[in-house]
Structure 1
Amino acid sequence: MQAVAVRTAARYGIAALAVSTAAALGLQLLVAPWTGPGMRHAVFFIAVLAAAATLLIVGSLRRGRDRSERRRRDLEREMAARQRSEAMFRRLAEANLVGVGVGDLQGRVSYVNDEMLRMMGRTRADFEAGRLDWRAALAPESAPAQARAEADLLAQGQGGGYEKVFLRPDGGRTPFLSAGALLEDPGLHISVAVDLTERKQAEEALRAADRRKDEFLATLAHELRNPLAPIRSGLELLAQPGLDAPTAARARAILERQVSHMVRLVDDLLDVSRISHGQVPLRRSRVALAGVLHGALETSRPALEAAGHALVLELPPQPLWVDGDEVRLAQVFANLLNNAARYTPRGGTVRLSLVAEGRQAVVRVQDDGEGIPGHMLGRVFDLFVQVEPSPQRQGGLGLGLALVRNLVQMHGGEVRADSAGPGHGSVFTVRLPLAPGAAAALPAPAAASAGPAAAGGLRILLADDHVDAADGMALLLRALGHQVTCVHDGLAAVEAARRLRPQAALLDIGMPGCDGYEACRRIRALPGGTAVRLVALTGWGQEGDRQRAREAGFDRHLVKPADLRSLNQALSG
């Protein structure tokens, strides 16, 4: 009987367990009631315990399943966010607005966009083949900036504002501004780089413009002092009592020429401003270019004669007509001739030719002078630009060729400069459209040479290649009772000093042959040269010019136009 009861209780316990389990699962089981004697309470107690155990187990399973579901959803959201972030990063990187790279501090690269490859001068194939090393690509001068970048990266996890330079395999350089940050992956960091090439070029252009402005202002001061010097000398001379009429007439002639020179200088400045703003109207008419060239020659003849140049003029047998402003065209060719006279050593040859080529009249001004460096050929027509100005050259303001280009373009033409380089002369070619009905293309004429251009006090040597300045100063010094020997270039000054043993010498700085500094050194080296009172008389008046004069051996440095008191003090010591 006891064994039967246990088995019965077990059966009912299993039944109860089944019922409770089914209930926990949302099911309903029907079990027939048991009313047998004996073990009812025990069986019921066992059934309750089984049901409770079942509920605990099922609840734990359900809670575990809920936590797993939430974790799965969280992981899916995190993965989706990461994918969106990576997609955004790739989109930004592949837009190539800036250079982007991922790598380690040893130089290895694990990701790079096309813009970064371009800045480094490398290809995608270089990256895929493992030939990319960002550290090796840095220029040596970038080492300090790279050291700061690495220190900030390791200390703060990020940093920026570092200017560096990539050396490209083709020898080029790419300046860039970089920033970086550490990534979660150990040892990796991301770098962003902005190409600074255009900014650096713009900065250099601004610096060059600023230098040209400074050079222009210094040259303007020099060019204004040149005519002012003979003007002051002439005025001082006219103030001398008992001046004879011929000397007074020469002084007045010098004053008139130099005032005219200053007027032309001011006119050029105004012309540049007006032409640049389109405020110069052309008075067009049908003109023969041969007549225009003759007019230009008349304007330029004094400069050609003063330099002792030979002039070769080549004109066609028939007239070539253009529609243009005769005065402005003559200004164009006079500027080119003056330019040739200025940049050709004394006794050179200047050739002026006119031919027709197709429907164009072509004028060439050729010289055998100093020539033009290749890097300057594209800039000689820019405003205020001069070809490597130096004290040996009678400068100018860098206005003439700018005026030439603007006036030629206003006539529908073009102008260009050609040169084989320094020491090989230069050719300026102007092309103008022929007037309708003008002569067709003609063969180049035979050259017709025009031949050489027409031709008591202290012992003082005066050297200045500005003839009027030298003559005016010589007249003044002679009126003061001095004996004056006048020459017009540095080599002649040295020879005259050797021959005449002067007590004092006034030397201009910007002279052909050798400049005033070199002439001073050579005179000092002559027998008795240390006893000569050497005075620099020049339009170059900055502190650097004074220092160079002292280093060359000058006793004094006077800036044109020097007043009589300063001149007397310089000569007397």
Structure 2
Amino acid sequence: MTLLAFLLGLALGIGFWLWQRQRLQRQLKQMLGVLQTDASSTAMSVVSRLRQEIAQANEHRSQLEERLQTWRRLLEVAPLGYLQVDEENRLLCCNDQARHLLQIDRWEPRQLRLLLELVRSYELDQLIEQTRHQQKPTIQEWVFHPPCLDGEAMGEVRSLTLRASSWPLPHGHVGVFLENRQPLIELAQSRNQWFSDLAHELRTPLTSIRLVAEALQGRLENPARRWVEQLLHETNRLINLIQNWLELSNLEKNPSKSLTYQSLELRSLIQSAWQTLEPLAQQKQMCLAYVGPDTLWIRADEARLTQVFLNLFDNSIKHSHRQGTIRVEVTAREAQVLDSEGTVDSPPFSNASDQPDSDASPSLIQIDMIDTGSGFADSDLPHVFKRLYRGDPSRQKSQGTSEPFTLVGSSGSGLGLSIIQQIIQAHGGTVQARNHPETGGAWLQIKLPDHKNLS
């Protein structure tokens, strides 16, 4: 009985164990089935989303490629030239207009070659380097001389006045837009030549009219005499205008040939010009204040430089307040004081004791002429050196006892400051106009290079 009970218990236990095992296996199969179903659906979801993202990425790429092609086509047909270089100044792209302007004919797209191999232009190379170094847009204008290897065709090669606008790009790349300014230059030259020819033709009949008016002036009685005097006054004004225009055109065409250099003592030259106009200054009780070296020798054209000071003094006297002061400051600087542009920005009021020794050989001579008038109208400042430009009295910036600086010079022709600029540029210098922050009057700043070494 005991053995039978043991066997019966063992059989029951084995049966129960088998039943539990089968039950557990069925549960595991069910769980595995569920897991397989979930994994399959998850995998299908990931694949579906991946395919959708790929499709969207391809669509976005197609749109970008379409835009890129559009911009490339626009650059190709643009009236401006465009080129782009990488961080090593290798040419990456160049449209047809840039090829034509720079005469690039040995380059194909996707062919990496140094720009210097294709275009010999120091100004363009400097512009690109400056833009890359400063990381800001830059504009520069220069005359481009295309290379010519054929001696017979050298006479047909024409130089071009180009204006380049550069833009810094990522990774050290630089893009440059090129504009051909030569047609505008030639148009301006043609216009000036036409005016000069017309001035030549008008000078003879106007001289004849003046001679007749002068002859009639002493033979007529009033009121006819007053009419002749008015006629003579206007005739002289026209003759002065024509003479100024011809003088300006001659300075512009042949700046160096129009000058006769000689050694001049600058302070004596300034004092001489002031003494010529001192009777006009005495009428307004005005005086001259000179600050600078007692003796400073320069090489310049005496007649031209005297004309500059006469014109400036005349304008300052006319447009300054009564009992005012015209201040002339002369500063001589050595080469190490010059800034990156070759100029010096000295303070407007410096002491004479601060001036360098007169025996030194300065590289730059700066002349600041400051009056106590109403100065330039703000709207006139960008145009003060343009030919025939005259300030509009209705746009004056203040209502004082003096008139605003009218930019017309002693003759009232509107060419006074234009002639001054041409004379200073012919000497290799620069002239700037502004209003002085302390006096409120006109401030003309002239910078002349040292020409002592000229023979």
TM-score relative to the length of structure 2: 0.39
Q: Highest CA radius of gyration, 1 or 2? A: 1
TM-score relative to the length of structure 1: 0.32
